[in-house]
Amino acid sequence: MKIKARLVSLVTLLFVITLSLSSCGGFGKKPHYQADISDISIDAVSIGRYEEVLFNLNPYALREDIGPYIDRFFIFLGDEINTEAGQQQLFDYITDPQTRELYLDTREVWPDVENLEKELTTAFRYYRYHYPNQPLPGVFTYISGLDYNYPVKYYENTMVIGLDMYLGQDYHYYPKVGVPAYQTFGMQPPFVAIDVMKMLGEKHLQEVTAMPERFLDFMIYEGKVLYFLDCMLPQHHDTLKIAYSNEQLRWLQANVGRVWSYFLENEMLYSSDRQIIIKFIGDAPFTAPFTRNAPPRTAAFIGWQIVREYMKKNQDLSLQDLFRENDSQKILSRSGFRP
């Protein structure tokens, strides 16, 4: 019985060791997106809701009522609030019937932002882990007037979120202002934190990386941004990070080899043809050369998998090291990517 017990113990131990090594890429170190942030402490995110202040003011006593809030919301008001033209512009904005309707609809979907604050607090803890010397951005919300091209803006270490761009896929105003149906998928509340952190990732990447030129460069660029999301929002599903439905993600996971072969057979990796790049990197209802079931941004997804494999095999590199590496061919070669 003792011999049998020892044998079981050894088998169990070997299983645990094997599982540990496989989960850490065989290097005894967790991937960056599984960082231990238990010792990372930051102030909880407090979102400034500009729209809640603004649309509860008396528009006919605007200058007096806005006074206590000028410092807090200076990024929106600026010095112009002290001019007649600035006050008139603000009056026109908050008394516009459509804008007020947007505000009321936004309140229905976003009566509070507590869950978003918790989500961003966790994401900023991961951010502090990877960028310990960077200040954490302030976060504000407002009614953008359906600015669907820029739902999140970054300015002077401040994130500004147009909450009216996250009212749900079926919100009636989106098609009326020309939002393509396929883009409304990303206009659901769960995508806010994704878009905030993506904006932050692109800021850092653009500070240190060369402008992409070739198809492969664009693939790796997009892959780095998505890997940044892995690191900042590790608890979020891949469908959120790349804005795919479950069906789209499953299709691409099942056909990743087919897609990669298509890129190689058509000698696309080193092409600088912008039409080709847009077709496989840009947003669209689907990727035309395959089927209507194929999701858009297939090249971005492939780039993401290449970067994941590269970082798995080079775990001595930090996230910042990845961003500073401008040689896309080197990343591809050292990733060992073989779908």
Integer angstrom CA distances of residue 26 from 14, 19, 20, 21, 141: 14, 9, 8, 4, 43
Return the bridge partners of 141, or none.
49, 161
Write down the residue that tokens 């669907």 correspond to: 148
- List, in sequence order, the alpha helices (H) in 163-297: 173-176, 191-208, 215-232, 238-242, 246-265, 274-281
What is the percent of the chain with per-residue pLDDT over 90, rounded to a whole number?
87
Distance CA 323, CA 91 (A): 44
**pLDDT recorded at residue 212:** 94
Percent of the chain at pLDDT exceeding 70:
91
Name the nearest CA neighbour of 93 among 49, 120, 57.
57
pLDDT, greater one: 17 or 243:
243
Residue-by-residue DSSP string for 207-226: HHSPPP-SHHHHHHHHHHHH
Q: Does 198 score more than 60 pLDDT?
A: yes
List the Cα angle 280/282/288 in 5-degree steps. Answer: 45
pLDDT band at 132 (very low <50, low <70, confident <90, very high): very high
